[in-house]
Amino acid sequence: MTPEEFRAWGKQVVDWIADYQAGIERYPVRSSVAPGEIRAALPAHPPERGEPFDAVLADLDRVLLPGITHWQHPDFYAYFPANASGPAILGDLLSSGLGVQGMVWATSPACTELETVVVDWLAELLGLPGHVRTDAAGGGVIQDSASSAALVACLAALHRASGGRAATEGITRRYALYVSAHTHSSLERAARMAGIGADNVRVVDVDPATQAMDPEHLAALLAADRAAGVVPALVCATVGTTSTTAIDPVPAIGRICREHGVWLHVDGAYAGVAAVCPELRWVLDGVGEFADSFCTNPHKWLLTNFDCSVLWMADRAPLVAALSILPEYLRNAATASGEVIDYRDWQVPLGRRFRALKLWAVLRWYGAEGLRAHIRRTVALAQEFAALVRADERFEVLEPHPLGLVCFRPLGPDADGRALAGMEELNASGALYLTHTKVDGRVVLRFAIGSPRTERRHVLAAWQRIRRALT
Ligand SMILES: *Cc1c(COP(=O)(O)O)cnc(C)c1O
């Protein structure tokens, strides 16, 4: 593709995206294709001769769109949001256009240095303390996902807990990792991948009223493990659990971790970004003071296309020591000088995309003010939705719901069955999309508001549909 061909097709692609965004409401939110349907509509063999790009665009419309679930639809209330935005899409396009491989500083200094600036900017916007800045002992890095962030935090924690031996000798003792029943499954995965093992993942009790981790039970489990010769490696506290946005008591957990010398990872994948609003900054209480690592995903609720998960460390040394390997072919003067950051040492893969461009574009386009307005608007809509549900005595709302997610359930006989059947009917209709979870063994519906396209009229109409389907 020559630059002139690229220019022509590129304009068409941008037009396609703009038309898609402008007309997104005409699609059913959830795709209703059957398994294998899209595959069956695609050729079994790759083309022998190149095809014009309009053939690709035509198949996008004809074959793929029916198999797309429209995450950017204003009536998408499932899971958590995965915000896409104009500036982030354009930033990603520029990253693709530059085609930079930013594995070490020397392979593109701007790729590393812009990343250090945007993660420091974001730390400031979230009110994180100075020691997590990249120009201090800590530092931030953009990972592909909170799951990767959890894995590298785990490897850093093992490095510290083993005095560096985990990296050389492997796991020669029993280590344990501490979660609650509502901690994201990526933590158990991290324990498996890091060699800690799923049997050494301890599940700390939660407070039945709030679903938040019980610090006293954590302390008891830590003490029992230490008495049994098991080395506590990492505690994960969650700020905004995936199920219900429960917020673990980080200050109390942090004090216990400090007492036991255990690594505290705080997973704020969804909710952490809410701290751009001063009135919501309490969600990060204790994080700056106690967390050894903290992660939040601009790719969920902060208007930045997937993938963009930011991990900050209080001290980057254990992470870099755990992961740094310097083969001859990567040796260079800048790395040898020790004056630069080589982000390959902060992540699992060697190669890395120039993800900072899209976050930079988002932070500049919206400004702190625009980001706050987005969070505030979606939180306010969620509060309005919760008030509507609460006002109907046939429903129960799970309290508290301080962010963009509202969990609720119908009351009465066979509430679980009716909730699931009503949800499936709504989702199959294509009018909206919501998901469910279980709390204390009972089915609870999740209504997550987070799209810049969701307006009050969408929420009011969604509630009318939900009410009809569930009563
Ligand atoms: C969504 C979520 C994750 C996983 O995020 P990825 O970036 O998709 O790996 C982890 N933890 C919590 C609390 C989440 O809500």
Give domain limits for the chain: 100-353
Ligand 1 contact, 309 CB (< 6 A): yes
Ligand 1 contact, 267 CB (< 6 A): yes
State the pLDDT at residue 381. 98
Residue nearest (by alpha carbon) to ligand 1 atom 8: 145
Q: What are phi and psi of 58, to 5 degrees?
A: -65, -40
Cα–Cα–Cα angle for 182, 186, 188, rounded to 5 degrees: 80
State the pLDDT at residue 161. 96
Tell me the pTM.
Answer: 0.97
Mutate to test the pocket of ligand 1, among 144, 267, 302, 305 (most ligand atoms within 8 A of CB): 267
Q: How far is CA 217 from CA 164, 220, 222, 251, 310, in A?
A: 29, 5, 9, 15, 30
Task: From 252, 246, 294, select the one nearest 127 (Cα to Cα).
Answer: 294
Q: What is the pLDDT of residues 370-385, one digit of tens each?
A: 999 999 999 999 999 9
State the pLDDT at residue 325. 86
Ligand 1 contact, 375 CB (< 6 A): no
State the pLDDT at residue 269. 98
Distance CA 433, CA 443 (A): 16
Ligand 1 contact, 116 CB (< 6 A): no
323-351 as b/e: b if 16+ CB within 10 A = beeeeeeeeeebbeeeebbbbbbbbeeee
The amino acid occupying position 7 is: R
Distance CA 79, CA 304 (A): 17
Q: What is the pLDDT of residues 163-205, one digit of tens each?
A: 999 989 999 999 999 999 999 999 999 999 999 999 999 999 9
State the pLDDT at residue 76. 98
Q: Which atom of ligand 1 is nearest to the CA of 307?
A: 7
Q: Of all helices (H) and strands (E), which one includes residue 361?
A: helix 356-390
* 184 CA from centroid of ligand 1 (Å): 7
Sheet with 395-397, edge to edge strand ranges: 395-397, 405-410, 442-448, 435-439
Q: What is the pLDDT of residues 284-331, one digit of tens each?
A: 999 999 999 999 999 999 999 999 999 999 999 999 999 998 888 888
What SS3 class is residue 432? Answer: coil
Q: Quick check: bond before 307 cis, omega within 30? A: yes
> Tokens standing for 21?
């965004």
For the chain, residues with pLDDT lower than 70 are: none
State the pLDDT at residue 326. 83
Distance CA 374, CA 301 (A): 9
State the pLDDT at residue 70. 98
State the pLDDT at residue 334. 86
* 243 CA from centroid of ligand 1 (Å): 11
Mutate to test the pocket of ligand 1, among 83, 242, 244, 310 (most ligand atoms within 8 A of CB): 242
Q: Which fold has domain 100-353?
A: Aspartate Aminotransferase; domain 2 (3.40.640)
